[in-house]
Structure 1
Amino acid sequence: MKNLSLTQKKWWLSAHILFSAIWLGVTVTFLILCISVLNTNDGQVIKAYYTSMLRLEQTAGRASLIGTVITGLLLSILTKWGLFRFYWIITKEIITLICLALGFIFIYYWTLNGIHLSADSINEDFITNHYQLMIWIIIQVSLLAILFIISVFKPWGQRIQRR
C-alpha cells in the first residue's frame, strides 16, 4: 500500500489530534457535569445534567470517538508506524478499545439509567448509579490522558520482526 506524502500525513495527523482533543474534552465535560450533580438536590437540574451528558455522548462524543479511531487506523496503516510494529502503538490500540467499550457501553448505559432513576426521586439506586458513572468517567479521562502521553513520548520500541 502506498504511504502518505508528508503533507497528507500532516493533514491526517491534524485531524487525529483534533478528534482526540474533542473526545477528551467531551469526557472532561461529563466529569464536570457529574460533579455538578453532587452539588444540587433539585431533580429537574439533575435530569438536565444527565440529558446534557446523553446529548454530548450521542453527538460530539460519538463523532470524535469514531473520527479518532478512523484517523488513527489510517495513520498507522499508511505510514511507517504500522498497526503492530511498535509496542507503544499496540498499547494505544488496547487502551482505545477499553475506552470505546467504556464510552459506547458502560458510560452510555449509566447515563441512560441515571435519567431513568432521577425521574422517580434521588434515592440510593440513583446515588449508586451516579458514583459508578463518575468512577468510570474518571478512569476514561485518565486513560485518554495516558493515550496523549504515549503519543508524545512513544515509549517501548519496535517489536522484533520474526521471519
Structure 2
Amino acid sequence: MKKLGPAGMKWLKIIHILLAAMFFGGIMSSLALHFAVNMAAYEETLSFYQHAVIISDHTIRIGAVGTLLIGFIYGILTKWGFFKHRWITVKWVLFIIQTFIGIFIVDQLMTSNMDMLEAEKSAVLHDPVFIQNHSLRQYAVIIQIAITVLIFCISVLKPWKKKKGT
C-alpha cells in the first residue's frame, strides 16, 4: 500500500493534535466541573451530570474515536506502523487502557448517577452509592488525565527509540 508523503504526514499530524486536544480538553473540562459542583444542591448536581454527559458524548468521545482512527491511518499509511517501535506499541496499549477506563468506569458511573438523580431527586445526594460513584468517577478521570499526559510525553520523547548507528 502506498505511504503518505511529507504533506500528507503534516496534515495527519495537525488532525491528530486537534483531536487529541479535543479529547484531553474534554476530560479536563469534566474534571474542572467535578471540582466545582456543590454536591449538597440537587439542581447544581443534576446540572453537573447533564453537562458531563454532553462533554462526554460530544467532545471526549469524538476526540477519542477520531484519535483512534488517525492512529490506524498512521499505522497503515506511514512508515511508523503499529509495532515497529516500542514507544508506539506502548502508546497503543495505554490508549486502550484509557479507553476502557472511560467506557467501563467513567461513563458507567456517570450514567448510573444520572439515572439515580432523575429517579430519586434530591434524596440521592445522601445515598452512599451515589457518593461513592461520584468519587470513583473523579479518581478514574484523574487516572485518564495521567495516562494522557504520559502518552503525550511518549509522543514527544520517543523513549526506547533505536539510536542511530546501533
Quick check: TM above 0.5? yes
User: Secondary structure of 1:156's partner?
Assistant: coil
Contact 1:13/1:75 (8 A) holds in 2: no
| Contact 2:39–2:125 (CA under 8 A) maintained in structure 1 | no
Alignment of 1:45-64 (within 5 A): 45-64=44-63
2:8 corresponds in structure 1 to 8
TM-score in terms of structure 2 length = 0.90
- Alpha-carbon distance, 1:42 to partner: 0.7
> What is the rounded CA distance, in whole Å, between the counterparts of 2:56 and 2:30 in structure 1?
9
Gaps spanning 5+ residues in structure 2: where? Answer: none
What TM-score comes out, normalization by structure 1 length? 0.91
Per-residue deviation, residues 7-40 of structure 1 (Å, max 9, x unmatched): 0110011101110011000001111111122x44
Percent of residue pairs bearing the same amino acid type: 29
| Count of residues in correspondence between the two structures | 157
| Mean CA deviation greater in 109-118 or 125-134 | 109-118
**In 2, Cα distance between equivalents of 1:105 and 1:16:** 24
Structure 1 residue 78, shift from structure 2 partner: 1.4
Distance in structure 2 (CA, Å) of the matches to 1:40 and 1:116: 16
Q: Residue 146 of structure 2 aligns with which residue?
A: 142
After superposition, the C-alpha distances for 1:89-112 in whole angstroms (9 at most, x for unaligned) are: 000000010111112222111111
Measured in 1, the distance between the counterparts of 2:75 and 2:67 equals 12
Question: Unpaired runs of 5+ in structure 1?
Answer: 159-163
Q: Structure 1 CA distance, aligned partners of 2:106 and 2:78?
A: 33
